[in-house]
Amino acid sequence: MRITVSTVILTGIVTSLTAFAPGKLAGQSAQEKATTTDPDTLVYRVDPIVVTATRGPRVVSKIPRPVSVVSQVRIDRLAPNTVTDLFRTLPGLDVTGVGVNQGRPSIRGQRGQRILLLEDGLRLNNSRRQQDFGEIPALVDVTGVERVEVVRGPASVLYGSDAIGGVVNIITRVPAREGLHGEASYRHGSVEGQNRGSARIYGRFGPLSVRAGGTIRDAGSYEAPAGTYGAIKLSEDTPVLNTGVEDRSFDLRLGYEASPRHSFFGKVETYAADSAGFGSVDPAAYAPGQPEIDILYPRQRFTKLTAGYRAQELASPIADRIEILAYGQKNTRNLNLGFAHSFGPGAGMTVDNRNYTNIRTYGLRAEARKLAMPGLLLTYGMDLWRDRTRGTDHNTTVITGFGPPMTDVKDTPQLPDASYLSGGVFLQSEIQATD
């Protein structure tokens, strides 16, 4: 008789703290259920492990709040353009924005700066992004993502005020197997004329680990099929302007395990995008005479440097596990806003606004976890970050048809140069009354 055993391997979590009671590892799941679906096949169903909701590993069935986990298997199956595409089938989530890279999450109607976007537990949000839109998850290359965790609902105690609507934590892969491994992929999309190529390598050589990869993509605009959309009727397939993009990303992570209890890592990542914007249909296709509005990001550049230290299984009276993370990121972008309206033959108004923003963010997060006594787990620490923003605006308004053209030029920034400092301490206690 031949017996086939299917197992699920959980990777990518760097932790050692026991969940609550001594002797029970956090990665162990008492919820594992073995069911025999065929005499020759034994299948184990393992609860996903989540770290975002409580800042420590938990099986999802033991978290008393709504959490969704998108695994690497599902990511590979869906082949998304960005992380945001993974949210379309999750309960309580929606996607705002149109375009290859402009999608953003909406959780229970909350969006923008009310949703905290994290990468490996570190914030990608900044104070300069529009309140209703927020930062784009496309900053993180989806080909290097291990899983995505979504907490639906307030998480401000652990993450600050901009987590009032929820948290999206993009967790990237960490090399787990000895030796050097790699993968490469190519994608072609006929709808938007997309061509994307990516390559990645993963390596572990004793205490050293390396991960590197990059993606290059060139995609054109989508087309809206002929039909009726509320009050808008399209008689034929119509291009959706500014939904394409030319972008590229690269990341490199180096890790070193000084001992089984102490490890260090450093990471650099970049993202560059050109000719991306907010999708719109030319009013001439459905309502001639209506104003034309064009919103385009002709250029965006993002660079982030991260360094971290983790200690685990400590024989310390104040902590069993300590993690210290520091990062700096630079985010620059150009935004062009065009407006054109005709008042009649030979008369009209055009507005051309060109904005440039430079945002530099520096942050530090220190966190400790301590099993104070059987059944009492403490998580505490501090979170500090600072935004420094600089920007310029150039606005030109031209009115024609009422005598000589009237031109008005303004260079006053719409938002002043500013610095924003945020800091806080947090303490969370979890009590397990019984087994």
pLDDT: is 400 or 192 the higher one? 400
| Residue 14 pLDDT exceeds 50 | no
pLDDT: is 289 or 250 the higher one? 250
At residue 41, the pLDDT reads: 63
At residue 24, the pLDDT reads: 35
Average per-residue pLDDT for the chain: 85
| Residue 311 pLDDT exceeds 60 | yes
| Residue 286 pLDDT exceeds 90 | no
Q: Which pairs from 349-354 meet CB under 8 Å and 24+ separation? A: 349/397, 349/398, 349/399, 349/400, 350/397, 350/398, 351/395, 351/396, 351/397, 352/395, 352/396, 352/397, 353/393, 353/394, 353/395, 353/396, 354/393, 354/394, 354/395
Q: For residue 358, what are the CA distances in angstroms to 199, 392, 416?
A: 30, 9, 12
| Residue 297 pLDDT exceeds 60 | yes
**Max avg pLDDT among 167-171, 280-284, 428-432:** 167-171
| Residue 292 pLDDT exceeds 50 | yes
Q: For residue 378, what are the CA distances in angstroms to 67, 122, 160, 433?
A: 21, 20, 18, 15
- Give residue 23's region: left, alpha or beta (phi > 0; psi -120 to 50): left
At residue 120, the pLDDT reads: 93
Q: Report how far residue 297's alpha carbon sits from residue 278's, in angstroms, rounded to the nearest whole number.
A: 8
The pTM assigned to this predicted structure is 0.84
Contact yes or no for 268/302 (Cβ under 8 A): no
Q: Which pLDDT tens digit goes with each residue over 135-186?
A: 889 999 999 999 999 999 888 888 888 888 889 999 999 998 899 999 999 9
At residue 55, the pLDDT reads: 79
At residue 32, the pLDDT reads: 39
Give me the residue label for tokens 């308004």. Answer: 397
Q: Which pLDDT tens digit goes with each residue over 121-139?
A: 999 988 776 666 778 899 9
Q: Report how far residue 362's alpha carbon sits from residue 308's, in angstroms, rounded to the nearest whole number.
A: 14
Banded pLDDT at 8 (limits 50, 70, 90):
very low
Burial 371-397 (b: 16+ CB within 10 A, else e): beeeeebbbbbebebbbbbbbebebee
- Domain of residue 371 covers 4-431
Tokens of 173: 């892969």
Q: Which pLDDT tens digit goes with each residue over 16-41?
A: 333 333 333 333 333 334 444 455 66
Contact yes or no for 217/254 (Cβ under 8 A): no
The number of distinct structural domains making up the chain is: 1
Q: Which pLDDT tens digit goes with each residue over 69-110?
A: 999 889 988 888 889 999 888 888 888 888 888 888 888 888
